[in-house]
């Protein structure tokens, strides 16, 4: 086992290598693409307005909230106070603004490291494995590419992961409330991941109250002698007859000694058996109403930030008439169910080094559940037939890789889309198999959020799959050095190819004078 100083050294070495390497690539990108590119023209324009103190004017082409501009402005303020003449350079130069994403990317690595350490608690995992896992995920091609442009993706991902980290650590104070506002202000769909964290918090509190009721109130025996001894000690030393004080002491003894995601004293049955949890809550309501009231009060107090952000989101949608800011014509809601399969395919392709270890398990499941597998396969074919959609932007912009995927596969022949059905089926099985360590409730919430994030979008856009992939990858903690090396090589090759095409293979449109570049 490595000493703490060695672990810190490995962590700092990864941070230094990541930041310096990213800055060098930023210098290269800035020298070749010094001017705004694609959506940067809108983001940089809005940043200039905010730097000028104009907070009431909004660029109609921007469809996301102003979190990126407000965060960058806050970081720029000290510089602008001391060097007010540099405002036009700091706020109006794309090359300068892009460097904020180098900072956000470094913070992202730290969040990944913290989450991997928490989520791997209870399982042997060296600091090298944690650091390399965090480094790999930071270099994930989709996110890493957009860190070289003044886009919202890296900051948005940071805010989602910070919210998830606070949820796992059970931090519900005012700084956590503030972070949820930052999360909601970076991208609208992030509200779904706020709901994800809120749902997990509520389930944690429900399971804690249900366990208190079962072990302390009903005197139900647990299989763990260590836990039986702890509960017996708790009962013996009870001094306060009031439910809230009693329960709080129980919660402290049971949970507060472990602030990570894998508390060894958790009653897993409640997380894997939601119906049992609901029945227990119903029994609490009927037999111990004071405990049920305590549960409601605890939920309201711990979830205040989630509730407030959700309430404000509802007000925003009602006032704005839509969840979309700016140009709504290109972001009309739809029931694009095939997005589920696109997302599964995306996770499967980039997660292949990890998912390959589950192939034997997947084949066994396919054989064991033959009837269900056939029914699911038919359902996939039906969904492909009825819910395959294309977006006007998809075939109107040959700068994106999705244009070529769609034109050269899906439009090659009308039956080509059905040939992917077996791959979709296999990918879904593999992804679910890889999450076997997670509780049923966690998997249910995760799949639900992935559906809510992707299905309403008519446009096939890889960036919709970024957070689902990251959340999946964070929970693949027990990986060998060989798998991590393979993953690193895959990411490095993809990053190299994408950046090479973007920087060194530009092309021209007949109706526009500027250079066009390939990108995600």
Q: What is the pLDDT of residues 229-275, one digit of tens each?
A: 444 554 444 444 445 556 666 666 665 544 444 444 444 468 888 88
Burial (CB < 10 A; 0-12, 13-18, 19+), residue 385, is exposed
Burial (CB < 10 A; 0-12, 13-18, 19+), residue 168, is buried
Residue 85 is classified by DSSP as: G
Residue 353 has pLDDT above 90, yes or no: yes
Task: Give the mean pLDDT of 106-133.
Answer: 89
Per the listing, tokens 């549960």 go with 295
Residue 24 has pLDDT above 90, yes or no: yes
Residue pair 352/489 in contact by the 8 Å Cβ criterion: no
> What pLDDT sits at residue 25?
97
Choose between 212 and 424: higher pLDDT: 424
| Per-residue pLDDT tens over the stretch 471-484 | 999 999 777 889 99
Whole-angstrom distance, CA of residue 509 vs CA of residue 500: 20
Q: How confident is the model at residue 224 (pLDDT cuts 50, 70, 90)?
A: very low
Q: 3-state SS of 338-383?
A: CHHHHHHHHHHHHCHHHHHHHHHHHHHHHHHCHHHHHHHHHHHHHH
Whole-angstrom distance, CA of residue 74 vs CA of residue 81: 11
Largest CA distance in the chain: 83
Task: Give the mean pLDDT of 126-138.
Answer: 92
> What pLDDT sits at residue 124?
67
Paired with 462 in beta bridges are none
> What pLDDT sits at residue 128?
87
Cα-based torsion angle of the residue sequence 232, 235, 237, 240 in order, rounded to the nearest 10 degrees = 160
Task: Give the mean pLDDT of 99-110.
Answer: 96
Whole-angstrom distance, CA of residue 91 vs CA of residue 48: 5
CB-side exposure of 290: number of CA atoms within 13 Å?
8
Highest mean pLDDT among 26-30, 258-262, 359-363: 26-30
Residue 212 has pLDDT above 70, yes or no: yes
Per the listing, tokens 């960036």 go with 463
**Residues near 135 by beta carbon (within 8 Å), at least 6 away in sequence:** 14, 17, 18, 109, 488
Percent of the chain beyond pLDDT 70? 83
| Per-residue pLDDT tens over the stretch 389-404 | 888 888 888 999 999 9
Whole-angstrom distance, CA of residue 166 vs CA of residue 30: 35
> What pLDDT sits at residue 265?
46
Assign 516 to helix, strand or coil: strand
CB-side exposure of 172: number of CA atoms within 13 Å?
18
Residue 155 has pLDDT above 50, yes or no: yes
Q: 3-state SS of 284-339?
A: HHHHCHHHHHHHHHHHHHHCHHHHHHHHHHHHHHHHHCCCCCCCCCCCCECCCCCH
Residue 498 has pLDDT above 90, yes or no: yes
> What pLDDT sits at residue 379?
97
Q: How confident is the model at residue 206 (pLDDT cuts 50, 70, 90)?
A: very high
Choose between 164 and 254: higher pLDDT: 164
Which pTM does this prediction carry?
A: 0.90
How many other C-beta atoms are found inside a 10 Å radius of the C-beta of residue 54?
Answer: 11
Task: Give the mean pLDDT of 148-162.
Answer: 94
Q: How confident is the model at residue 176 (pLDDT cuts 50, 70, 90)?
A: low
Q: How confident is the model at residue 180 (pLDDT cuts 50, 70, 90)?
A: low
What is the average pLDDT value for the chain, to the nearest integer?
85
Task: Report the run of H or E that residue 436 belongs to, with start and end.
Answer: none
> What pLDDT sits at residue 327?
67
From the DSSP assignment, how many helices (H) and strands (E) are in the chain?
26, 2
> What pLDDT sits at residue 4?
60
**Residues near 212 by beta carbon (within 8 Å), at least 6 away in sequence:** 247, 250, 251, 291
Per the listing, tokens 């990126």 go with 68
Q: Which of 106-115, 339-348, 390-399 has the lowest mean pLDDT?
A: 390-399
Whole-angstrom distance, CA of residue 366 vs CA of residue 517: 43
> What pLDDT sits at residue 264?
42
Residue 194 has pLDDT above 50, yes or no: yes
Residue pair 431/468 in contact by the 8 Å Cβ criterion: no
151 phi/psi in degrees, rounded to 5: -115, 170
Beta pairing class for 515-516 and 507-508: antiparallel
How many other C-beta atoms are found inside a 10 Å radius of the C-beta of residue 453?
Answer: 21
Percent of the chain beyond pLDDT 90? 52
Assign 57 to helix, strand or coil: coil
> What pLDDT sits at residue 136?
97
Residue 215 is classified by DSSP as: I
351 phi/psi in degrees, rounded to 5: -95, 15
> What pLDDT sits at residue 244?
54
**Residues near 217 by beta carbon (within 8 Å), at least 6 away in sequence:** 288, 291
| Per-residue pLDDT tens over the stretch 61-101 | 888 888 899 999 988 888 777 766 666 677 778 999 999 99
Q: How confident is the model at residue 310 (pLDDT cuts 50, 70, 90)?
A: confident
Residue 384 has pLDDT above 50, yes or no: yes
Per the listing, tokens 């709504």 go with 328
CB-side exposure of 444: number of CA atoms within 13 Å?
10
């Amino acid at each position: 086992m490595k000493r703490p100083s060695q672990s810190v050294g490995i962590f700092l070495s990864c941070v230094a290598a990541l930041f310096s390497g990213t800055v060098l690539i930023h210098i290269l990108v800035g020298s070749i693409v010094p001017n705004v590119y694609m959506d940067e023209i809108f983001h940089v324009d809005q940043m200039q307005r905010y730097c000028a103190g104009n907070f009431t004017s909004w660029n109609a082409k921007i469809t996301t909230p102003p979190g990126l501009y407000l965060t960058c402005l806050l970081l720029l303020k000290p510089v602008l106070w001391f060097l007010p003449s540099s405002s036009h350079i700091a706020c109006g130069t794309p090359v300068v603004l892009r460097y904020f994403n180098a900072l956000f990317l470094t913070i992202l690595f730290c969040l990944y490291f913290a989450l991997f350490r928490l989520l791997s608690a209870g399982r042997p995992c060296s600091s090298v494995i944690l650091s390399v896992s965090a480094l790999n995920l930071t270099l994930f091609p989709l996110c890493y590419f957009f860190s070289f442009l003044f886009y919202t993706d890296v900051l948005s991902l940071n805010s989602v992961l910070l919210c998830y980290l606070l949820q796992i650590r059970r931090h519900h104070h005012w700084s956590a409330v503030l972070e949820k506002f930052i999360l909601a202000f970076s991208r609208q769909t992030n509200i779904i991941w706020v709901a994800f964290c809120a749902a997990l918090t509520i389930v944690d509190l429900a399971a804690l109250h249900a366990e208190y009721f079962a072990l302390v109130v009903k005197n139900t025996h647990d299989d763990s002698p260590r836990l039986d001894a702890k509960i017996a000690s708790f009962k013996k030393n009870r001094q306060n007859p009031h439910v809230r004080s009693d329960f709080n002491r129980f919660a402290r003894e049971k949970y507060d000694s472990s602030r990570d995601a894998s508390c060894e004293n958790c009653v897993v049955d409640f997380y894997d058996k939601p119906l049992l949890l609901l029945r227990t809550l119903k029994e609490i309501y009927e037999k111990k109403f004071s405990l049920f009231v305590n549960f409601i009060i605890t939920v309201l107090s711990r979830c205040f930030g989630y509730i407030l952000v959700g309430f404000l989101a509802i007000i925003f949608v009602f006032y704005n008439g839509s969840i979309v800011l700016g140009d709504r014509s290109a972001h009309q809601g739809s029931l694009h169910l095939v997005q589920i399969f696109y997302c599964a395919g995306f996770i499967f392709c980039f997660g292949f080094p990890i998912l390959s270890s589950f192939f034997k398990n997947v084949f066994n499941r396919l054989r064991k559940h033959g009837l269900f597998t056939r029914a699911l396969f038919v359902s996939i074919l039906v969904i492909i037939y009825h819910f395959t959609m294309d977006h006007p932007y998809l075939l109107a912009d040959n700068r994106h890789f999705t244009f070529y995927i769609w034109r050269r596969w899906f439009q090659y022949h009308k039956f080509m889309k059905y040939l992917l059905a077996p791959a979709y089926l296999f990918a879904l099985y593999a992804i679910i198999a890889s999450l076997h360590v997670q509780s049923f409730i966690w998997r249910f919430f995760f799949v639900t959020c992935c559906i809510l994030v992707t299905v309403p979008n008519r446009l096939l856009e890889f960036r919709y799959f970024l957070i689902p992939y990251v959340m999946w990858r964070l929970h693949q903690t027990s990986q060998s050095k060989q798998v991590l090396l393979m993953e690193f090589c895959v990411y490095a090759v993809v990053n190299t190819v994408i950046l090479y095409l973007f920087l060194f293979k530009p092309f021209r449109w007949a109706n526009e004078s500027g250079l066009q570049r390939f990108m995600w």
